[in-house]
Amino acid sequence: MIVNLRKQHGFTLIELIIGMTMMVIGIGFIMAAMLPREQQSADQIHLIRAAELGQSLMNEITSKAFDQNSDLSGGVLRCNETGWQACTASANLGNESEERTSYNDVDDFNGLSNFEDALGSNISGLYVGFSVNVQVFYDNNYDGISDVYLADGSEENSSLAKLISITVTTPLGTSITFANYKANFE
């Protein structure tokens, strides 16, 4: 009987350990390259939801009257018009201790940061991790800067336009700002 004694070739334990280590490192690099894309994908979904929330809130706000002292029953008279009431002073912009469902002019939303719909229902469960901030101020010259005081410290007669600015921040920290003007004519 003839036995063929050929030397068998295989992998040693050290070679297997080195190979597995290199494979783990390679998979780590691949995962590290894919992780930012995963976060970008999630951020895009958050941006869409933030846009929906911001636009919905902007639609609601711009549908309201210019000022508490405007003629709310048809827009025949404007605040600061001869024979009618003055517009709300810059320092007094904000809601007049009204419930959210009773907001009737744009500056009632100034400082709004809670998640309620127009009916007063809490919708924070739909936007977990999101935040919203609304600012409303007079901006007579449309430069994005509040027209409150002149250089001499007196208040400017700035009752022509209010800038409505809504900032929605996603759970990943991306902020989107929506801005619109409401003018003092109805």
pLDDT (average), residues 31-52: 78
In a domain, 10, yes or no: no
φ, ψ at 66 (rounded to 5°): -65, -45
Q: What is the pLDDT of residue 156?
A: 55
In a domain, 2, yes or no: no
In a domain, 8, yes or no: no
**Strand stretches in 117-170, DSSP E:** 131-138, 161-169
In a domain, 113, yes or no: yes
Q: Which residue has the higher pLDDT, 80 or 48?
A: 48
In a domain, 66, yes or no: yes
In a domain, 156, yes or no: yes
Q: Which residue has the higher pLDDT, 34 or 182?
A: 182
- Written as one letter, the residue type at 130 is F
In a domain, 167, yes or no: yes
In a domain, 12, yes or no: no
Q: What is the mean pLDDT of the chain?
A: 81
The DSSP element (H or E) to which 44 belongs, if any, is helix 13-62
Range with lowest mean pLDDT among 30-34, 110-114, 124-128, 172-176? 30-34
The DSSP element (H or E) to which 169 belongs, if any, is strand 161-169
- Rounded CA-CA distance 25/43 in Å is 28
The sign one gets for the Cα dihedral 96, 101, 104, 109 is positive
pTM above 0.85, yes or no: no
Number of domains in the chain: 1
pLDDT (average), residues 69-90: 74
CB hemisphere CA count around 9 (13 angstroms): 0
- Rounded CA-CA distance 133/179 in Å is 12
Q: Which residue range is the domain that position 93 belongs to?
A: 21-183
